[in-house]
Structure 1
Amino acid sequence: MTSEQQTYLIVGGGLAAAKAAEAIRDRDTDGKIILVTTESELPYERPVLSKGYLLGSEERASAFVHDQQWYDEAGIEIRLGTTATAIDRAKHEVELDSGERLGYDKLLLATGSEPRRLNVPGADAAGVHYLRTIGDADAIKAVLESGVPLVVVGGGWIGLEVAAAAREHDLAVTVLELDELPLIAPLGREVAQVFADLHTEHGVRLLTHTGLKSIETADGRVTAVITAGHERIEAGAVVVGVGVAPRIELAKAAGLETDRGVLVDASLRSSDPDIFAAGDIAELDHPLMGKRVRVEHWAFANDSGPVAGQAMAGAEARFDSLPYFFTDQYDLGMEYIGLAGPGEADRVELVGDVPGRAFQAFWKSGDRVLAGMHVNLWDDGIDPIKQRVLDGLKS
């Protein structure tokens, strides 16, 4: 507990922000905590939005980290529908879109990412969707329940999870992917082929080396897409998953050191000792991996938020988690740990029944394991793979 009441200001309304608020309150029972978020909803987790909620196996309420009563009892003030527009580092104040200025002793930026937008004719039509917010998930769930043919632009994790949910609802689904295989950049050819085969076996029409030229509309609504190869595909809706960009404009305008994200140390502290960053925007000097990493997955928000909160409240906290990701598509469940960046791995070692989709994969540089995953091997799970990655980091 601190000797004087501290004011902790959190800008952002996602998982990292909520977890940071928890950690601050656990350590400082008297400090004033204010959480400011542009969204109109309480902080929530994103994985359920593209997985269980779209499938209908999880309720909307399951996405929320806490209900309002929890924040009230913890003494955490939530400002919904409020945007931070500027940081005055000299005065330790944040300006809001209302013109109000909030003072802080410690400030956390957890502003997350925003989807990259299409720039083609018809991209602003009704029926073109992105999946980032819970409101986006509500709209896409309505599409899946309507039964209209769906085109997914982008064969990344979000695009494939939406495609899987759409097929479970028996929609006609076409996926457009610019590369030769979906997920080939993060997984490599052998493992990416597993996901390509999975989707085609479940009735997805997968068009690779295929871009989008335009979206046809009638009365302002999507009716079809035209590919770069001039093929016309009927569609009642389009879901776009072509990546995200970290929201670091506030940090850059304040003069914080940035690159692909906000540069932070192992305690999530930025170049200003009173300002921290967590979640998607944090580009962390990772103490185990020996390099800077910026990770856009659930686990990084879940793990970085508490470290930032503890450090803000005066603890000697350091981030020591490995990047982790999971996905569920049809009957395939996968967990991935570690990080093999572009060009870092020279081969992928596959162990087990790849055609039967029950195997392990290890991304290696020489004999060193950089990352690993399992598919449908739940008896052992991720723990032995994690140990091999940790051993690789020590070698």
Structure 2
Amino acid sequence: MIVLVPAYEPDGRLTALVAELARSAPRARVVVVDDGSGPAYAPVLDDVAALGATVVVDAADGGAVNHGKGHALRLGFRHLLEGAGRDAQEVVVCADCDGQHTVRDVLRVAERAGAAGAGAAGGMVLGGRRFTGRVPLRSRLGNAVARGAFRLVTGLPLHDTQTGLRAYPLAMLPWLLSVPGERFEYELAVLLRARGAGHAVVELPVETVYLEQNASSHFRPVVDSLRVLAPVLRFAATGSASFALELALLVLLQSWTGSLLLALVGARVVSGSANFLANKLVVFRATDRRHTRREALRYACLAVVLVAAGYVLLRGFAAMGAPVLPAKVLTDLVLFLVGWSVQRRLVFARPSGTGRAPGAGTTPASRRSGARTSG
């Protein structure tokens, strides 16, 4: 087992974590990534190095710059991949440095990831908090919003999308290096892209620990929830733009041809084609041209089904005596959610195993007991 800890301005809680890991799991390898903490925090990093941990810094700037948690995690992943002769199914557990993850839970997550099938499947195991008991209101509400938004976008019913306690098989690190993100959005991006890349996500309940009412948390409920909802918002924007384009073309084509039928068909074909391309390239980022024909066929079939379903729903509401305007709004909302889900899961679904490890990247350097060497 390898325990990877990104650290920015750590205190004695990091030392306590490393010391307890050394007692409870003496065979575990601990790697701490110093993300630009500065000279004032060197004693803490020297202490964990004395306990046997490897302290990694960015060789490009000597560890003088704070790049963000995502950068630190990827620096650690790259450092681990550079080690020769390691078992591809060895488990890498990422944990925070602020004491929010108990060693017991670190070991439980590692054990679950190393169980038969978990590592071999190329999946990840999350240590998911349940937010029960005396949880700060900010954290309870923020995670509830983020959880709902995440489930809407991905379909994954996770309890804790913000957890930093995660276990990955070593073989998964090249894909993790391909996921963009320098700061706290990186861990969210990993979850958002996991299913599309064919990686399973398993959640294991862990203890919820909040220190000083979670004062050190960098979680931003509104910003992070909007980040999760960004694909849905882009989907709504492309749909609105296509609707406006269709209306404009309808008026223009009817004035040119004098035929309502030709105007309707022409406007729908052009706006539908524009919406297909916008959803493919902007919303779902499905840039592989090899699948365009298949995607277009599925999109066209979905469009026909949605039109028919809209008609059936409106007739049903009318039969129940519902007013036309509320019925139309409700119908369009249902079709919007269905259209989003089907396009994400079927029309523009990415084949598994599409992640690529980046080429040249930031070079890590490691130190033990204060001595630095290039990685």
TM score, norm. by length of structure 2: 0.20
Higher relative contact order, chain-length normalized (CA < 8 Å, sep 6+): 2
Higher strand share: 1
Higher helix share: 2
